[in-house]
Amino acid sequence: MILRYAASCILFILATLFLTEESRAQEAPDPEKKEEGAMVRIVCVQSLNGKDEAVTLAKKTEDGKWIESGDLTLNSTLITDWIPVPVGLNHIVRKKGAELTSIGSFTISTTMKRVILILLPDMEKKVYRVQLVDSAKLDFQKGKALVVNYSKITAFVKMGKKTNTVASGQQVVETITADADGMYPMLVGHLDADKNTVLCYDHRVSFNPNTRTFILLFPDPDTGLRAMTLSEFGPFE
């Protein structure tokens, strides 16, 4: 009887140890498992300080600790390479010694794979406003242009023979069709209070079918609209 009881105790202890170790193994992170996230490419319209600015992409844990994704240098009219970032709320932070301060944030969902971040400086608040562009949903690929209207007036944008009306806050993707010489006319304008056409941008532009183009429209005190164009080389997939 005593031997049988002792054997039962030993089996119970061994079973408990096995289940405990199995539970710990399940809780331990798998070193082979890649963290879910997306690749982001940053388009910086203008840096907050008007020159090169070193920043870090980071995520804050529930206990207040920062986990850094990578460092980069922002400057005006910058397009970065693709950078991996995790799912969830991410921050653009400025470092001062060991202290990290958020100067912009964006959220990556589990469905996002490649995302463009357009950084707009808010000079009053000294932060970046971040707009996410999921190019897969917009079908924004090479040979196309993405028009985003950040002004408060409705604009018209003509690329080649196609003219688009772009309302305030709207974004439009259009395929660029060049002429036989590899160039195309691009006009940006709006109608004034008297319905007269006001041209703000009128150029003949060289077309590269292996790039995609950002056309960002901003308010201008003189002409009503200011157009900024940036070309991005691949990869796009």
pLDDT bracket for residue 6 (50, 70, 90): very low
Alpha-carbon span 112 to 135, nearest angstrom = 10
Domain identity same for 111 and 152: no
Which CATH number goes with the domain that contains 131?
2.60.40.180
Averaged pLDDT score across all residues of the chain: 85
Question: What's the pLDDT at 35?
Answer: 59
Closest CA relative to residue 121, chosen from 166, 76, 153, 85: 76
Q: CA nearest 172: which of 151, 206, 149?
A: 149
pLDDT of residue 16: 46
Percent of the chain with pLDDT over 70: 85
Is residue 30 assigned to a domain? no
Is the pLDDT at 160 greater than 50? The verdict is: yes
Q: Is residue 20 part of a domain?
A: no
pLDDT tens digits, 77-136: 889 999 999 999 999 999 988 899 999 999 999 999 999 999 999 999 999 999 999 988
Identify whether residues 107 and 184 lie together within a single domain. no
Within a domain: residue 32? no
pLDDT grade for 34, boundaries at 50, 70 and 90: low
Q: What is the mean pLDDT of residues 15-38?
A: 52
Residue 13: per-residue pLDDT? 45
Residues 110 and 122 placed together within one structural domain of the fold: yes
Plot region of 102 (φ>0 → left; ψ -120 to 50 → alpha; else → beta): beta
pLDDT at res. 26: 45
pLDDT of residue 203 exceeding 70: yes
User: Among 107, 106, 100, 86, which residue's Cα sits nearest to residue 56?
Assistant: 100
Strand boundaries in 26-124, DSSP class E: 37-44, 53-60, 66-74, 78-79, 83-86, 88-96, 99-108, 114-122
Tokens of 130: 């971040």
Residue, of 110 and 12, whose pLDDT is higher:
110
Domain region containing 71? 37-136
CA 157 to each of CA 13, 171, 190: distance values in angstroms, whole numbers, following the listed order: 76, 12, 9
pLDDT score for 3: 45
CATH of the domain at 217: 2.60.40
| Weakest mean pLDDT among 23-32, 38-47, 107-116, 132-141 | 23-32
pLDDT of residue 1: 53
Which residues are paired to 145 by β-bridges?
Answer: 174, 213
Going by pLDDT thresholds of 50, 70 and 90, the confidence category of residue 189 is very high
Q: Is residue 118 part of a domain?
A: yes
> In which residue are the tokens 């060289």 written?
206
Q: Is residue 156 part of a domain?
A: yes
pLDDT score recorded for residue 4: 53
Domain identity same for 75 and 48:
yes
Q: Do 123 and 52 share a structural domain?
A: yes
Residue 235: asked if its preceding bond is cis (omega within 30°), the reply is: yes
